[in-house]
Structure 1
Amino acid sequence: MEIPIEQILQDFAVIMIIASVMTLIFYRLKQPVVIGFIVAGIIIGPYTPPFSLIHNSDVLNLFAEMGVILLLFTVGMEFPIQKLRRIGRKAIIIATSEAFGTLAIGFFTAQALGLGFYDSLFIALAISVTSTVIVMRVLGELNMMKDEAATLILGTAIIEDILVISLLAIFQSAGVSGDISVNEVITSIAITMGFIAGVLVVGSKIVPKLIDVVARTNQHDVLIVAAVGVAFGFAFISFQLGISVAAGAFFAGVLIAESRSHAVTSVLATPVKDIFAALFFVSVGALMDFRLIPQFIIPALVLIGVSIGAKFLTVYLASRIQGVSKMSSTRAAVGLSSSGGEIALVVAKGGIDVGAASSFILPMVGTMTIITTFISPYVIKYGWKFTERYRKDRDKGKESLPSNTGNKTDAD
Structure 2
Amino acid sequence: MEFSQISKIIMDKISAAPSSSELIIQDFAVIMVIASVMALISYKLKQPMIMAYIIAGMIIGPFTPPFSLIAHVEILHVFAEIGIILLLFVIGMEFPLEKLKNIGKKATVIAVAEASGTFLAGYLASQALGFGFYDSLFLALAISVTSTVIIMRVLEELGMVKDEATYLIVGIAVIEDIIIVSLLAVLQSVAATGDLSVSEIGVSIGLVIAFIVGAIVIGSKIVPRCVDLVGRTNHNELLIIATLGVAFSLAFIAFKLDISVATGAFFAGVLVAGSKMRVATKIMSTPIRDMFAALFFISVGALMDIKQLPLFIIPAIVLVVVSFLAKFITVWAAARAQKFDKATSLRSGIGLSSSGGELALVAAKGGSDVGATSSFVLPMVGTMTVITTFISPYLIKYGWKLVDKISAKEKESS
Q: Same fold (TM over 0.5)?
A: yes
Distance in structure 1 (CA, Å) of the matches to 2:102 and 2:32: 40
From 300, 324, 327, give the equivalent of 1:311. Answer: 327
Structure 1 distance, partners of 2:265, 2:376, is 26
Q: CA shift at 1:182, angstroms? A: 1.0
**Is the contact made by 2:323 and 2:355 (CA closer than 8 Å) also made in structure 1?**
no
Structure 2 residue 394 is matched with structure 1 residue 378 = yes
Are the aligned partners of 2:320 and 2:355 in contact in 1 as well (CA < 8 Å)? Answer: no
Matched residues, percent identical? 61
SS, match of residue 375 in structure 2? coil
Corresponding residue number in structure 2 for 1:125? 141
Displacement of 1:26 after TM fit? 0.7
- Distance apart, 1:232 and its partner CA: 0.7
Q: Work out whether residues 54 and 300 of structure 2, in 8 Å CA contact, stay in contact via their aligned partners in 1.
A: yes
**Aligned equivalents of 2:310, 2:197: Cα separation in 1:** 35
Q: Distance in 1 between matches of 2:377 and 2:161?
A: 35
Q: 1:191 aligns with which of 183, 192, 207?
A: 207
- Backbone CA RMSD of aligned residues: 0.9
Equivalenced residues, count: 396
* Residue of structure 2 in register with 1:15 after alignment: 31
Residue 48 of structure 1 is aligned with which of 44, 64, 77? Answer: 64
Among 45, 60, 73, the alignment partner of 2:89 is 73
| C-alpha displacement of 1:37 | 0.5
Kindly state the Cα deviation for residue 265 of structure 1 after the two structures are TM-superposed: 0.5
The residue that corresponds to 2:239 in the other structure is 223
Cα offset for 1:177? 2.0
Q: Which amino acid aligns with 1:290?
A: I
Query: SS at 1:176's partner residue?
Result: helix
| 1:405 corresponds to | none
Q: 1:256 aligns with which of 235, 255, 272?
A: 272
Q: Which ranges in structure 1 are unaligned for 5 or more consecutive residues?
A: 399-412
- Partner residue in 2 for 1:33: 49
Query: In the aligned structure 2, how far is the partner of 1:177 from the partner of 1:218?
Result: 46
- Who is 1:287 aligned against? 303
Calculate the TM-score normalised by the size of structure 2.
0.95
Choose the corresponding residue for 2:410, options 365, 369, 394.
394
The match for 1:302 is 318
> 2-side partners of 1:10 and 1:384: how far apart?
47
List per-residue Cα deviations over 1:195-220 (Å, max 9, x = no partner): 00000000010011111111011000
Q: What is the CA-CA distance between 1:367 and the residue it aligns to?
A: 0.5
Q: CA deviation at 1:62?
A: 0.5
Look up the match of 1:401: none
Alignment of 1:204-219 (within 5 A): 204-219=220-235
CA distance in 1 between partners of 2:39 and 2:63 (Å) = 21
Q: Displacement of 1:178 after TM fit?
A: 2.5
Q: Which amino acid aligns with 1:12?
A: F
Which letter does structure 1 place at the counterpart of 2:217? V
Superposed counterparts of 1:232-251, under 5 Å = 232-251=248-267
Distance in 1 between the 2:374 and 2:268 partners?
Answer: 29
The farther-off stretch of 36-45 and 8-17 is: 8-17
Which of the numbers 355, 359, 362 marks the counterpart of 2:378?
362
